[in-house]
């Protein structure tokens, strides 16, 4: 009996040790941001909203005996009931510093767009859905979840250079009257260098996306190119970016297809002074949209200017006051979505 107990104890101990050894490393991070937004459109009455931004991410990783790191992550559903990123794939990081994203990998062009400072608040006037003018640099970087993206190690071919390439296939859905993304190919690059006391970052990318539809075909496939530059001198950051391309989407409130030739310019400044951070930024986009197979059309536009002041109240806790002014047109006419909005709230991150 004594021997059986000793054997049983050794077996349980061994299994427990094996269980611990086989567990991957898990870390958690996220944020909870909530605040009051007040919108004051030029037409119609004011509107008040409580805006929430809640994220909870679990990151998993482990390193093989050969030194390669295998990682993945998933985001939990937030309290508003909208699903987060539940279909993240795997990332393989090799010993030379390069990485390979598998499944839901994304688009290499969008991975290298420059971050432009803007209001840190959660405010703004919502444009009409028929207005196709972009306000972001990655407005035409579509991809399906069935893809891969390769990221080079740092100092690829030159000091400070990193390059990414990506590709994805179709999602297997049968073609219908709505545009279906069949494939994409993209390349992006970021170059970082020092110019005296200034750290300079240059980002650029190109993406092309092919698709299919039952019926009329578009006059051009979806594609875009972007370029941006950011300069950091001490506590001051100045950045500017530009993007141009053809975007394929649906018309507002319908399943009709729209192809738009669009461009956008963004610029922003951020300054940190102790516990205070000051942001100001602008975006100006234009688009000419048409039904598939059509040309001509009038111009949609969107111009926004936003600013914010953030104060670090405590470790991980930031109070935010933001303001944004918007001016937009649809088909060359005011879409009654001009006006201003302000926001006051706080963000708690962990």
Domain boundaries, the chain: 36-349
Answer whether 30's CB lies under 8 Å from 56's CB. yes
Helix (H) or strand (E) holding 79, with range, is none
C-alpha to C-alpha distance for 51 and 121, rounded to whole angstroms: 10
C-alpha to C-alpha distance for 70 and 92, rounded to whole angstroms: 5
> What pLDDT is stored for residue 323 in this prediction?
97
> What pLDDT is stored for residue 86 in this prediction?
52
> What pLDDT is stored for residue 312 in this prediction?
97
Options 1.10.1330.10, 2.40.160.10, 3.40.50.300, 3.30.365.10; which CATH number does 36-349 get? Answer: 2.40.160.10
> What pLDDT is stored for residue 252 in this prediction?
55
> What pLDDT is stored for residue 87 in this prediction?
61
CB atoms within 10 A of CB 228: 23
Q: Which long-range contacts (CB under 8 A, 24 or more apart) does 151-158 make?
A: 151/98, 151/99, 151/100, 151/101, 151/111, 152/98, 153/96, 153/97, 153/98, 154/97, 158/191
Kindly state the tokens that stand for 87: 């279909």
Helix (H) or strand (E) holding 62, with range, is strand 47-63
Kindly state the tokens that stand for 273: 């002074």
CA atoms within 13 A on the CB side of 132: 26
Q: Over the chain (350 residues), what is each successive 10-residue block's mean pLDDT?
A: 41 42 84 92 84 88 94 72 60 95 92 95 82 89 91 94 95 78 94 95 95 78 94 98 89 67 96 97 92 78 95 96 92 77 95
């Amino acid at each position: 009996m004594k021997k059986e107990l000793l054997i049983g104890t050794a077996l349980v101990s061994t299994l427990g040790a094996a269980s611990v050894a086989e567990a991957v490393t898990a870390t958690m991070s996220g944020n909870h941001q909530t605040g009051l937004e007040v919108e004051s459109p030029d037409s119609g009455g004011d509107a008040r909203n409580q805006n929430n931004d809640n994220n909870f991410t679990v990151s998993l990783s482990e390193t093989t005996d050969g030194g390669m790191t295998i990682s993945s992550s998933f985001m939990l559903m937030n309290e508003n009931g909208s699903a987060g990123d539940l279909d993240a794939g795997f990332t393989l990081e090799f010993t030379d510093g390069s990485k390979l994203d598998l499944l839901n990998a994304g688009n290499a062009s969008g991975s290298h767009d420059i971050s432009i400072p803007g209001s840190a608040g959660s405010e703004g006037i919502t444009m009409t859905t028929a207005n196709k003018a972009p306000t972001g640099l990655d407005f035409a970087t579509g991809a399906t979840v069935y893809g891969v993206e390769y990221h080079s190690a740092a100092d690829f071919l030159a000091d400070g250079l990193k390059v990414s390439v990506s590709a994805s296939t179709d999602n297997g859905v049968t073609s219908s009257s709505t545009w279906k993304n069949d494939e994409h190919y993209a390349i992006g690059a970021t170059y970082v260098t020092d110019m005296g006391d200034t750290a300079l970052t240059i980002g650029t990318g190109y993406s092309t996306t092919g698709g299919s539809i039952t019926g009329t075909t578009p006059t051009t496939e979806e594609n875009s190119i972007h370029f941006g530059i950011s300069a950091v001198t001490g506590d001051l950051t100045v950045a500017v970016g530009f993007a141009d391309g053809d975007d394929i989407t649906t018309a507002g409130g319908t399943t009709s297809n729209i192809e738009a030739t669009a461009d956008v310019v963004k610029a922003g400044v951020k300054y940190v002074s102790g516990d205070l951070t000051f942001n100001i930024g602008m975006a100006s986009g234009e688009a000419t949209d048409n039904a598939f197979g059509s040309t001509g059309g009038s111009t949609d536009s969107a111009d926004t200017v936003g600013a914010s002041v953030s104060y670090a109240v405590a470790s991980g806790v930031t109070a935010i006051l933001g303001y944004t002014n918007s001016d937009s047109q649809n088909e060359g006419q005011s879409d009654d979505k001009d006006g201003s909005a302000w926001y006051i709230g706080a963000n708690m991150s962990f």
